[in-house]
């Protein structure tokens, strides 16, 4: 099924690490969560005072999710099955892509150039982050993909934006992930490397979650690219 159209601008939680931010991170939560999910992580990233950063945690709209017997919950698009090669909600992904593009445009209107904006996401949010980042018409700073997969991989070659060819990607996954198997992350990593993106791969002895070691690696990566 196709979700209802997303509102003109997604409701979001914002945290700034200092006055007059010079960079932004738009971080998407996973299925059934909300924008508060990763907000407590911000202080642990140790962003330097010289790089004040605005972290934006948007809330997904509530839609029925087929995989969860039609239960209405926060979701970025519909999910039909656990099959990596199964049918995907292309229309729902496009709606979320447009909504995230609006958030990027708002950051630009607030003085943050696109190449100082990172897209990030966990699980289903990561799928939207990589889908949007690889297709965005302006250069982005990079994308951070946590415990997720590459959606609609078969359309990437035709739809990828030249502006983001070679874009840095941090892909992190738990070896014991029983929700999004690490094999999905590895296949996504390989497809993105083959497409020319600068992929950094990290894996951890965790399930479908984020660990303290992973947070340290995320902070180091963000400090480096920003």
pLDDT in tens, 144-190: 999 999 999 999 999 999 999 999 999 999 999 999 999 999 999 99
Q: Is 181 left (phi over 0), alpha (psi -120 to 50) or beta?
A: beta
Please name which of 113, 13, 123 lies closest in space to residue 58, comparing C-alpha atoms: 13
User: How far is CA 95 from each of CA 5, 100, 101, rounded to the nearest angstrom?
Assistant: 7, 9, 10
Q: Where are the domains of the chain?
A: 12-225
Q: What does the pLDDT read at residue 83?
A: 83
**Eight-class DSSP state of 60:** P
Which tokens in the block code for residue 226? 């920003």
Q: Is 36 a catalytic residue?
A: no
Q: Which residues neighbour 48 within 8 Å (Cβ) at sequence distance 6 or greater?
A: 223
Q: Is 208 a catalytic residue?
A: yes
- Across the range 42-67, mean pLDDT stands at 97
**Eight-class DSSP state of 224:** H
Strand pairing report for 142-146 and 168-174: parallel
Compute the C-alpha angle 20/61/219, nearest 5°.
Answer: 40
Question: In this model, does residue 2 exceed pLDDT 60?
Answer: no
User: How far is CA 4 from each of CA 91, 93, 125, rounded to the nearest angstrom?
Assistant: 10, 12, 18
Asked if residues 118 and 104 have their Cβ atoms less than 8 Å apart, the reply is no
Asked if residues 128 and 104 have their Cβ atoms less than 8 Å apart, the reply is no
Q: Is 177 a catalytic residue?
A: yes
Q: Please give the model's pTM, rounded to 2 decimal places.
A: 0.95
Q: Which residues are 200's β-sheet partners?
A: 170
Question: Which of the following CATH numbers is that of domain 12-225: 1.10.10.60, 3.20.10.10, 3.40.50.1820, 3.40.50.261?
Answer: 3.40.50.1820
The single residue of 123, 147, 173, 188 carrying the catalytic annotation is: 123
Give 16-51 pLDDT, tens digit per residue: 999 999 999 999 999 999 999 999 999 999 999 999
The single residue of 12, 208, 211, 217 carrying the catalytic annotation is: 208
**pLDDT confidence bin for 6, thresholds 50/70/90:** very low
Q: What does the pLDDT read at residue 7?
A: 53
Asked if residues 86 and 80 have their Cβ atoms less than 8 Å apart, the reply is yes
User: How far is CA 153 from each of CA 86, 87, 135, rounded to the nearest angstrom?
Assistant: 11, 12, 12
């Amino acid at each position: 099924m196709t979700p209802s159209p997303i509102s003109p601008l997604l409701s979001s939680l914002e945290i700034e690490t200092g006055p007059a931010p010079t960079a932004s991170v738009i971080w998407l939560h996973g299925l059934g969560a909300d924008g508060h999910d990763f907000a407590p992580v911000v202080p642990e990233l140790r962003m330097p005072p010289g790089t004040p950063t605005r972290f934006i945690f948007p809330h997904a709209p509530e839609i029925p999710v087929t995989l969860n017997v039609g239960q209405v919950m926060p979701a970025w698009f519909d999910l039909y099955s656990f099959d990596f090669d199964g049918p995907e909600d292309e229309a729902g992904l496009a709606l979320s892509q447009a909504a995230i593009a609006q958030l990027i445009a708002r950051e630009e209107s607030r003085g943050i150039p696109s190449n100082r904006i990172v897209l990030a996401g966990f699980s289903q949010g990561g799928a939207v982050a990589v889908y949007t980042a690889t297709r965005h018409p302006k250069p982005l700073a990079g994308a951070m993909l946590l415990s997720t997969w590459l959606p609609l991989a078969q359309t990437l070659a035709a739809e990828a934006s030249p502006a983001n060819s070679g874009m840095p990607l941090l892909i992190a996954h738990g070896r014991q992930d029983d929700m999004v198997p690490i094999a999905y992350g590895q296949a996504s990593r390989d497809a993105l490397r083959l497409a020319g993106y600068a992929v950094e791969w990290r894996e951890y002895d965790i399930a479908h979650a984020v660990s303290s070691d992973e947070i340290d690696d995320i902070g180091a990566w963000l400090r480096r690219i920003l």
